[in-house]
Structure 1
């Protein structure tokens, strides 16, 4: 390492988003999560600040910043060479081939598409007005997205005009396409009455709202085309009111109706084609009921947003499925404002973290709201909530202090003994500790130098472990490692999106 230049490393600062440097900004936004994946899954740190050794061939990769690394450089020919985003994608693909022995042409294309999506979003946002509602603003704020995914913003590689009108990050809202499906072909389970308030169906038909992008993607298929032709399916026009896409893209919210609806979307977003798969729909009511019961039994303000029913057509069961989710008003404590937890990390106008001058009281309040309900659901009910950043809403009072946590998405919930207790606990630790709390802790440590957020996490876990008799807590607090999901390797090896695999990461909770 003697021949390598030494540099001073400072916290990540992305370029200013002026007209002249949109491409540079897009490169920085897109490089950060890809670099996070490379460093987590394929590299090891060296004693040199910011320098990492790639395991497959020993090459050296240097970055600036820690939480959101930028400015990647590779050491070759006796000097450091800066990598453009295109070169970084090629570098990552070469390292993956050497590490796995497998080839993959899809993922590099997704990485490039993700970067191009970010560039398009930055151009649109420069002249767009964000929503006034702080909740909607938080849902539509995520330009980086998943900080440990190689292509967090890919939109299927299609033309910009195909996806941009439906992109939450572009501050969009739009009406749904309202269909009528003949009654004898309707398939539904649970409480879907909210769908019937969106319009009026002809006699003998039921309303079936559709995401306009999904209808474009699948409407030319034979099953749907034939259903329109023979009258099993009718077009009624757009809904009277618009819906706002949330961070999940395919889940939309109508504030006036306080209604969430979730659709199939035949586009790969992060690890999955985001279709409402038949096997998931057939079990969602049982999973949701168990989760709702686990939260209802708790003596705290935490809430579960129930996926209370779905409706579809038997001739296009997955393509036209729509899931109805609880709204916010009946669950929120009085006077509280819900905010997407992922937005607290990424930043948005109205972020309560921007008001802090000292984080300890705020952080303690946050932990009190978020950690206990997840642990209690596991300990007393065998429910593994997928409490990652995009599935968690944190409601704050007028001062910005967390007063409630709300969780969502029954599709990601696991139930014991459907999964083993060990597998369930591993997933809980990854979602809650690594994906969620570690991101906020890193942000607080970056914003408030000298602050260590982890003792407070340790105290909260220790307290709740004693409350619920969870032996896993003591093991977690003494373990040298915690599980980090390997999204880069999962996508490169074309693993199923639900097939979580983990790499051991240093445990920030240990060593106190």
Structure 2
């Protein structure tokens, strides 16, 4: 009999100390958590350009992968747009594996060991999230953070959907949004002369000639290594390091930990560009006929260090009228909405109209399910969209110029006139991420998109969306290619031609 994987055993031991009441439920949730991570991993094996996979062969209801070393991986036929834990077992040369970390270890491909450890953490943390979640009937939350805290599974397609290396069990329970905590942000005093500030830094976060920079307690303990008394009560959102202050702004804090794929600190360059980006976002929204709002950055400050910085943004809730709800697209599956093909098609139509109009103007939004929010009527109908966090958009100076818009002074990494790069940014996040996760399968996504694109003008961008393979980030390839830089991409079957 196999011993429990290291990460699972460590979590179980810690849990017995800090929350013994959750131990049995954690153990019961482990098989489902492993399957959820394994399903995401199998999707990557089936569709990402892994250098160690030689060939892929459909075999009825199964898919066979032939490895370059002559071994064979066999699992279910892989719908790249399907969500949920549908892969329970993958066989390597006939030996069954239900644990993604063990499978990755046995594969032994380059960089497998490090990635296997991440997969083990992801499955164990996901089981912890499942164990601590509360059942929600069909009632709708009353606060903006409560919508976000219903998203328990994390990224719908990344095997590292819940990987939080460096977080103890107690810290996950104290800071993970799915556990519903209130987090006391520390306020670190820094001389204003030693800070870069853009926008308006509020008076309540000043102390004479010093700025009070909000600091996440994990960052204070593990990175800054200084006592940091909690003075600002806030509720963690989906990204964990961004928190909602009741009646106030959303606070994006520096968190120098690798969550999913990226270290979540705040670069000095992003603080320097934040006010310009915010103004540019407002200008973009003004051209969208009321269908899109972009949350404003109220102020940003850094002590000239990515480890000690914060960004204050207005709440997306500010763009909803009485009786309306603002819901991250990633949370739509948790709302108890009376979803139907008509409803999904209406959301897809709204999202494509907004995303493609912005792209035509020259702005490719990274409109994944966390950045993109839907404003819903009291009965759940999608009315318009809210977009937050402009840090990873791409901007085309040539397209802007065609529409008489001056290109603002932005970091060079954001600027490109390459149509493929612009389309990858939008299509990969919006179609291959946000809308695919709401649809939940290739067939449902095909139907939703088909109903929407029939009403769109046949621009070159729309033709590419309808006819070319769909580009999405090759998330697992990037985690197993640590020597590379920048995004790497997979090309999925066009969902409009899904059978």
1:337 aligned residue (306, 311, 325): 325
In 1: Cα distance, 2:318 partner to 2:134 partner: 35
Asked whether the equivalents of residues 176 and 209 of structure 1 are also in contact (C-alpha less than 8 Å), the reply is yes
Asked whether the equivalents of residues 484 and 502 of structure 1 are also in contact (C-alpha less than 8 Å), the reply is yes
1:91 counterpart SS class: helix
Distance apart, 1:486 and its partner CA: 0.9
Distance apart, 1:284 and its partner CA: 3.2
1:464 counterpart SS class: coil
Structure 2 residue 97 is matched with structure 1 residue 83 = yes
Structure 2 residue 364 is matched with structure 1 residue 384 = yes
1:169 aligned residue (174, 178, 200): 178
1:463 counterpart SS class: coil
Cα distance, 1:205–1:493 mapped onto 2, change above 3 Å: same
How many residue pairs get aligned? The number is: 447
> Residue 49 of structure 1 corresponds to which residue in structure 2?
61
In 2: Cα distance, 1:255 partner to 1:52 partner: 51
In 1: Cα distance, 2:72 partner to 2:118 partner: 24
Asked whether the equivalents of residues 166 and 174 of structure 1 are also in contact (C-alpha less than 8 Å), the reply is yes
Distance apart, 1:456 and its partner CA: 4.3
Asked whether the equivalents of residues 337 and 396 of structure 1 are also in contact (C-alpha less than 8 Å), the reply is yes
Q: Report the more deviating stretch, 144-153 or 245-254.
A: 144-153
2:214 aligned residue (191, 209, 231): 209
In 2: Cα distance, 1:173 partner to 1:364 partner: 36
Distance apart, 1:455 and its partner CA: 4.3
Q: Which aligned pairs between 1:11-410 and structure 2 lie closer than 5 A?
A: 21-41=28-48, 42=50, 44-56=56-68, 57=70, 59-63=72-76, 67=82, 68=84, 69-74=86-91, 76=93, 80-85=94-99, 88-93=100-105, 95=107, 97=109, 102-125=110-133, 132-133=141-142, 135-193=144-202, 196-197=203-204, 201-220=206-225, 237-239=229-231, 242-257=233-248, 259-314=249-304, 317-345=305-333, 348=334, 350-352=335-337, 355-356=338-339, 359-380=340-361, 382-410=362-390
Cα distance, 1:84–1:305 mapped onto 2, change above 3 Å: same
Q: Report the more deviating stretch, 452-461 or 394-403.
A: 452-461
Distance apart, 1:62 and its partner CA: 1.8
Asked whether the equivalents of residues 341 and 393 of structure 1 are also in contact (C-alpha less than 8 Å), the reply is yes
In 1: Cα distance, 2:149 partner to 2:64 partner: 34
In 1: Cα distance, 2:210 partner to 2:297 partner: 24
Cα distance, 1:162–1:296 mapped onto 2, change above 3 Å: same
Asked whether the equivalents of residues 363 and 393 of structure 2 are also in contact (C-alpha less than 8 Å), the reply is yes
Asked whether the equivalents of residues 442 and 495 of structure 2 are also in contact (C-alpha less than 8 Å), the reply is no
Asked whether the equivalents of residues 393 and 425 of structure 2 are also in contact (C-alpha less than 8 Å), the reply is no
Distance apart, 1:238 and its partner CA: 2.5
1:85-114 deviation per Cα after TM superposition (whole angstroms, max 9, x unaligned): 1xx3243355472xxxx3353221111111
Structure 2 residue 423 is matched with structure 1 residue 454 = no
In 2: Cα distance, 1:262 partner to 1:434 partner: 26
In 1: Cα distance, 2:484 partner to 2:320 partner: 35
1:6-63 deviation per Cα after TM superposition (whole angstroms, max 9, x unaligned): xxxxxxxxxxx95762222332233222222222225735132033324433513224
2:127 counterpart SS class: helix
Unaligned 5+ runs, structure 2: 1-23, 398-414
Asked whether the equivalents of residues 281 and 310 of structure 1 are also in contact (C-alpha less than 8 Å), the reply is yes
In 1: Cα distance, 2:357 partner to 2:381 partner: 23
2:316 counterpart SS class: coil
> Residue 232 of structure 1 corresponds to which residue in structure 2?
none
Distance apart, 1:126 and its partner CA: 5.8
Tell me the TM-score normalized by structure 1.
0.79
Cα distance, 1:64–1:124 mapped onto 2, change above 3 Å: farther
CA RMSD of aligned residues (A): 2.9
1:136 counterpart SS class: helix
Asked whether the equivalents of residues 302 and 369 of structure 1 are also in contact (C-alpha less than 8 Å), the reply is no
Tell me the TM-score normalized by structure 2.
0.81
> Residue 10 of structure 1 corresponds to which residue in structure 2?
none
In 2: Cα distance, 1:163 partner to 1:28 partner: 21
Distance apart, 1:392 and its partner CA: 1.1
In 2: Cα distance, 1:372 partner to 1:284 partner: 26
Unaligned 5+ runs, structure 1: 1-16, 229-234, 446-451
Cα distance, 1:131–1:274 mapped onto 2, change above 3 Å: farther
Distance apart, 1:503 and its partner CA: 1.8
In 2: Cα distance, 1:432 partner to 1:154 partner: 23
Distance apart, 1:276 and its partner CA: 0.7
Structure 2 residue 476 is matched with structure 1 residue 500 = no
> Residue 472 of structure 2 corresponds to which residue in structure 1?
484
> Residue 7 of structure 1 corresponds to which residue in structure 2?
none
Asked whether the equivalents of residues 141 and 169 of structure 1 are also in contact (C-alpha less than 8 Å), the reply is yes
